[in-house]
Amino acid sequence: MMTKIDERRNIIESLKISHTENIAGIDRRIKNLKISSIMLISLSVVSGLLILISVIAEQLGFEILKWDKFGMSAIFITIFFVNFPNDFYKFKLLKHIRLINDSKDFPDLEKLNLELKKVIDRQNNRKIIVIVLVLILIMGFWQQFGEDNPYWSYMKLPILAFLGFIIIRFIQVYKELSENIQKTENTVANNS
């Protein structure tokens, strides 16, 4: 018979991340996700700042980081931004499951599991993000390798808005996950 803790573990494992996890053992998975999360967050912050500097510099008339030469960079930047949230969430959730792994079920766990499943299902449903990402990929490749892309100058605001959307969504989901994890861990601590 599956316990509620096992069900929670399965819900956590259902979160899709950007790469496969062929590593046995939760501690090694946590270590690898920590490294990957730090790298993706660092790359996302640096590359996001590059886009912002490029857009601002062009508006002010400076020639550094010209937007016209930013096609491939925009592709990499958006890929970093799209991938870092789920890797970070998986890292946080695996640390959580390691902490409560040997705990006993408690009455409110089913409700907390349903809330967690709802958050993870919403995070796994990334259709709109994928559509926007494909558009940015097409426009970026066109700018980088094609002839003159007359629409590239109009991509500044959509790319900035997309990155802003990813950041806002990251903050919202992080808050929901943190509250769910905190409630679960507090209840486990009180029932021990």
Question: What confidence score (pLDDT) does residue 179 get?
Answer: 96
Distance, in Å, from the CA atom of 51 to the CA atom of 77, rounded to the nearest integer, reads 8
Distance, in Å, from the CA atom of 78 to the CA atom of 73, rounded to the nearest integer, reads 9
Specify burial of residue 139 (Cβ count, 10 A radius: 0-12, 13-18, 19+). Answer: buried
Intra-chain end-to-end CA distance of the chain, in Å:
22
> Which two three-digit tokens encode residue 130?
């994928």
Question: What confidence score (pLDDT) does residue 138 get?
Answer: 92
Distance, in Å, from the CA atom of 173 to the CA atom of 71, rounded to the nearest integer, reads 30
Distance, in Å, from the CA atom of 22 to the CA atom of 12, rounded to the nearest integer, reads 16
Could you tell me the residue ranges of all domains in the chain? 4-9+24-191
Q: For the whole model, what pTM was predicted?
A: 0.86
Residues in CB range of 51: below 8 A, 6 or more apart: 70, 73, 74, 77, 159, 160, 163
Nearest 5°: the CA angle 133, 138, 47 is: 55
Question: What confidence score (pLDDT) does residue 20 get?
Answer: 66
Question: What confidence score (pLDDT) does residue 108 get?
Answer: 85
Distance, in Å, from the CA atom of 68 to the CA atom of 58, rounded to the nearest integer, reads 10
> Which two three-digit tokens encode residue 33?
């996700």
Question: What confidence score (pLDDT) does residue 169 get?
Answer: 94
Residues in the chain where the model's pLDDT stays below 70: 20-22, 192
Q: In terms of Cα–Cα distance, which of 182, 172, 37 is closest to 118?
A: 172
Distance, in Å, from the CA atom of 81 to the CA atom of 13, rounded to the nearest integer, reads 22
